[in-house]
Structure 1
Amino acid sequence: MEVCGSSGVSLREFGCEQSLLSRPDGSASFTQGDTSVLAGVYGPAEVKVSKEIYDRATLEVLIQPKVGLPSVRERSQEQCVRETCEASLLLSLHPRSSLTLVLQVIHDDGSLLSCFLNAACMALMDAGLPMSCLFCGVTCAIDTDGQIITDPSAAQEKESRALMTFAIDSKERKVMMSSTKGSFSVHELQQCIAVSQKASEKIFQFYRDSVRRRYSKTL
């Protein structure tokens, strides 16, 4: 099922559950279509002296693929997620401590990096960590006809000539991080950013709805 709005931005159906793991300080599962990720946040905790930063917390992001060991692809995704989290977390409130974010791939059917970002944000919220803004991830594919597909599936990614993922902040809809591959023009890049900013409104609305549902159950 696609979630279609009058804006014409279509996204696959979302699902999210917070606090489903008992050991981490915050956790969340996030699904987009058939893509599914589990996130756990540990900390603030003690940090190894070698990794200690005197004026802020150290953030480590670990991505665990569905099978096998992390490869170069996971390392670059870890960096994208870490940069986004560092831009939104108020790390200076926890100097000389460590935060660890673990992301586990349950199923990859496209738009994996944006799913990582969305799961990460929900897990950080669940952990109650202070943040200057929330963020979400949006993936866009440009097909051979030049059409922009938001939240593409694995099959759509395979047939695209360009793939871009943006992290968008909840305050001003600014791009906090971008990851691109393939060939595209400056105009196409700007179009994809505009589409992602529009799509982010639906994702932030989904965040609000799922948090509201959760707390209305507990009250």
Structure 2
Amino acid sequence: MLAAASGGEARMAASGGGGCLRPFSCEQGLLSRPDGSAAFLQGSTSVLAGLYGPAEAKSSRELPDRAALEVLLRPKVGLPGVLERSREQLLRQTCEAVLLGGLHPRTAVTLVLQVLSDAGSLLSCCLNAACVGMLDAGLPLSSLFCGVTCALNASGAIVLDPDAQQEQEARAVLTFAIDSAERKLLMANTKGSCSVEEMQQCLAAAQRAADTIFQFYRDSIQRRYSKS
């Protein structure tokens, strides 16, 4: 059964050569079986996140000092491949950076991400769905985080939150995970070639875009709990 959830939309007009984010929205508490769930939509890219735990861990996974986090990324069709396994590791490392797992030692937390539609910037959408899902599950976090994807086109201009065609035509695609406390970089993933200066410019654009996403998180949560 579906639970009542919150939603909302936001669009960013970034200052300085970054364009704007596609409209995005989210809903929390969609699924009844997980301990927390969220669907995140960026343009036509959408990901559904389900959180299970903290729960009793199998002896093979149990960690004496913290919760063991597992991330599973399921493509829209077919079975997970090398790309999904690589992204699972990036997602897990980002989530582990903010999850206060020491509060729940010897337990297991499982994050399942189901791709519903991939129309570009999929990794950043997965990051955003993961964060909102962790919030819905009530997991203890040191900060929030968000994902922002930037593409460098042939002329070197930065395109924020590119769609699938813009990614295909780009010289390089960079995805960053940014924390909400100090706008620190938690994770960076690049595809293609770019200079150090271009990467720094993309990171600066992503950090500016993160402000809008974090405000959207706050507005969405406020709307949800004001309704309930």
Q: TM-score, normalised by structure 2?
A: 0.94
Aligned partner of 2:140 among 127, 130, 133:
130
Q: Which residue of 2 aligns with 1:74?
A: 84
Aligned residue-pair number: 218
Distance 1:206 1:77 in 2: 24
**2:206 maps to 1:196:** yes
Q: Which residue of 2 aligns with 1:86?
A: 96
Distance 1:103 1:53 in 2: 23
Q: Which residue of 2 aligns with 1:3?
A: 11
Distance 2:215 2:150 in 1: 19
C-alpha displacement at 1:46, in angstroms? 1.0
C-alpha displacement at 1:183, in angstroms? 0.5
* Residue correspondence of structure 1 range 139-150 to structure 2 within 5 A: 139-150=149-160
Distance 2:191 2:76 in 1: 23
Q: Which residue of 1 aligns with 2:194?
A: 184
Indicate the percent of aligned positions where both proteins have the same amino acid. Answer: 65
C-alpha displacement at 1:4, in angstroms? 3.7
Q: Deviations over 1:121-175 (max 9, x none)?
A: 0000000010000000000000111010010000000000101100000000010
Distance 2:149 2:14 in 1: 19
Q: Which residue of 2 aligns with 1:172?
A: 182
> Is the strand fraction higher in 1 or 2?
1
C-alpha displacement at 1:7, in angstroms? 2.1
- Matched residue type, 2:58: K
Aligned partner of 2:49 among 39, 42, 54:
39
C-alpha displacement at 1:2, in angstroms? 8.7
SS state of the match for residue 11, structure 2? strand
Q: Deviations over 1:159-217 (max 9, x none)?
A: 00101100000000010011111010000000000000000000001101111111111
Q: Which residue of 2 aligns with 1:209?
A: 219
Q: Which residue of 2 aligns with 1:114?
A: 124
Aligned partner of 1:96 among 106, 112, 123:
106
Q: Label 1:47 to 1:197 Cα distance change in 2 as closer, same or farther (>3 A).
A: same
C-alpha displacement at 1:97, in angstroms? 0.5
Distance 2:38 2:99 in 1: 17
* Two-structure CA RMSD over aligned residues (Å): 1.2
Structure 2 unaligned segments of length 5 or more: list them. 1-8
Contact 2:171-2:193 within 8 A present in 1 as well: yes
C-alpha displacement at 1:6, in angstroms? 5.7
Distance 1:208 1:148 in 2: 27
